[in-house]
Amino acid sequence: MIGDNGIGEVIDRKFEIQARCIEHDHVYDDRHAVLMLAKDLALPNTLRFYRSECLRLGAAENQLRGIDLLIERVDRYQAANPTVCKVPDVDDGRGDHILAPNRG
């Protein structure tokens, strides 16, 4: 999905997103998606929580298996790239647009 999302603003203010779902050839932009970086030290536990939510919501085994494999790749990425990994942050000044009040 791209374009209007019904809320009058982008969802992800940190990244401009143009992503293609390889599975279905769907396209998504930052009005319909959020991006988290593999270097984000909060991501592994976030994905573990996401998996538990998918399980709670009744997600199919393929979804849970895909998340398990994703978590394993992120864990390996962070182990292989320790100097790149960081605590996520928003810069003073340059990140002001991220912290601006929501329109709704």
In this structure, are residues 64 and 54 in contact, taking their beta carbons and an 8 Å threshold?
A: yes
Under the binding rule (CB under 5 A), the answer on residue 62 touching Zn ion is no
Q: Which is nearer to Zn ion, 34 or 100 (CB)?
A: 34
Task: List, in order, residues 6 or more apart from 13 with CB less than 8 Å away.
Answer: 30, 97, 98, 100
Nearer to Zn ion, 26 or 76 (CB): 26
Compute CA 35 distance to the chain's CA centroid, rounded to the nearest angstrom: 3
Site pattern 13..52 for Zn ion (x: CB under 5 A) = --------x-xx-x--------------------------
Q: Which residues fall within 8 angstroms of residue 6, CB to CB, at 6 or more apart? A: none
For Zn ion, the closer CB: 21 or 100: 21
Site residues, Zn ion (CB under 5 A): 21, 23-24, 26
